Amino acid sequence: MALMNILLYLCLDRLVTAPRSPTAHPGRCPPGHFSMGQAATCSPWLSCEQLRTEVRPLKRVGEGAVKTVFLSEWKERKVALSRLTRPEVRDDFLHGLRMLQALQSEHVVTLVGYCEDDDTILTEYHPLGSLGNLEATLNLAKYRSLNTWQHRLQLALGYVAILDFLHRSPLGTLVMCDSSDLPKTLSQYLLTANFSIVLNDLDALPLVNRSSGALVKCGHRELRGDFVAPEQLWPFGEDVPFQDDLMPAYDEKSDVWKIPDVSSFLLGHVEGSDMVRFHLFDIHKACKSQVPEERPTAQAVLDTYQKVLNLLRDTATSQTREML
């Protein structure tokens, strides 16, 4: 028995510590590698040479301040080729690339290759496009069956899971800065074909360093409106002109402030979404605390969402059972 235990322990230890071979884990590749879709193998990120000769741009599918995105073809597969829009925003483009490289996971779009000399990035293509298209997508006959509170709450869960991932990332606490209004925020995420959300635009993810007391500011310009957190607004009144160096810095709780608005969009207006809103009322109220420290962490919001999903699923199941 003892011998068996030792053997089992050794086997488990090998399983846990063995370096992942490029073929072992589909969807989870070693650094510098990728796998797309159902592919079981991992390949190295494409080089400049490969990007120049093997990738064929087909049509423009998106554009933001930093990148123009083209649906493209690589070895008969669809990929998204992003090109820098103008040289003035090259630092943001390169920051986005560094973040893409470092944060590859289920929460982030798959990096397929890049070429810094040409200012190009290649990622997995997601035909359903940005999260901003959600309502239009759910109205298509093909996806109408997914337009339920269950699927929509699952999306909200995925969204908060991404924030939680950023706030506790391998690089430290990152703030999702490129989110000054709802449409802009939605445009940074993609809806995948299996109806989950991945983060696509990582150009503005500054790092909060608690131990050194370094907080962040999202950009150098004045932010307005009530979508952004109160601490992101100019605090010295209309009479004092905005000055970037006088603007106080803040932390990742500015992301938590925005959760109720994004989630409410994701929940939409279908049968049951108001019932879900009712169950999320208290946690969303806490997200809207004026004082950032009083807001819950993204992790706590995620836990609550999961509990609500479980509770409502159980209730729905027992109701169905009673009807039978």
Site residues for Mg ion per CB under 5 A: 64, 66, 188, 201, 203
CB of 80 to ligand ADP, least distance (A): 3
For ligand ADP, the closer of residues 94 and 233 by Cβ is 94
Amino acid occupying residue 14: R
Residue 162 sits in the site that holds ligand ADP (CB under 6 A)? no
CB of 125 to ligand ADP, least distance (A): 5
Kind plus residue range of the DSSP H or E element containing 163 = helix 149-167
Taking residue 37's Cβ as centre, other Cβ atoms within 10 Å add up to 12
**What mask of x and - would describe binding to ligand ADP in positions 83 to 122, judged by CB under 6 A?**
--------------------------x-------------
Taking residue 239's Cβ as centre, other Cβ atoms within 10 Å add up to 5
Partner whose binding site includes residue 123, from ligand ADP, Mg ion, none (CB under 5 to 8 Å by kind)? ligand ADP
For the sheet with 67-74, list strands across it: 55-63, 67-74, 77-84, 120-124, 111-115
Residue 190 sits in the site that holds ligand ADP (CB under 6 A)? yes
Q: Which residues of 52-88 are buried (b: 16+ CB within 10 A; e: fewer)?
A: eebbebeeebbebebbbbbbbebeeeebbbbbbbeee
Partner whose binding site includes residue 169, from ligand ADP, Mg ion, none (CB under 5 to 8 Å by kind)? none
**Of the ranges 22-30, 46-54, 126-134, 300-308, which one interacts with ligand ADP (CB under 6 A)?**
126-134
With a CB cutoff of 8 Å and minimum separation 6, the contacts of 285 are none
**What mask of x and - would describe binding to ligand ADP in positions 202 to 241, judged by CB under 6 A?**
-x--------------------------------------
Site for ligand ADP in 48-77 (CB under 6 A): 61-67, 69
CB of 189 to ligand ADP, least distance (A): 8
Question: What is the full DSSP assignment across 232-298?
Answer: GB-TT-TTSPP-GGGSPPB-THHHHHHHHHHHHHHH-SSTTHHHHHHHHHHHHHHHT-SSGGGSPPH
Give CA–CA dist 186/228, Å, rounded: 14
How is residue 144 annotated by DSSP? G
For ligand ADP, the closer of residues 65 and 270 by Cβ is 65
For ligand ADP, the closer of residues 10 and 39 by Cβ is 39
Provide the binding-site residues for ligand ADP, judged by CB under 6 A.
Answer: 61-67, 69, 80, 109, 123-126, 129-130, 187-188, 190, 200-201, 203
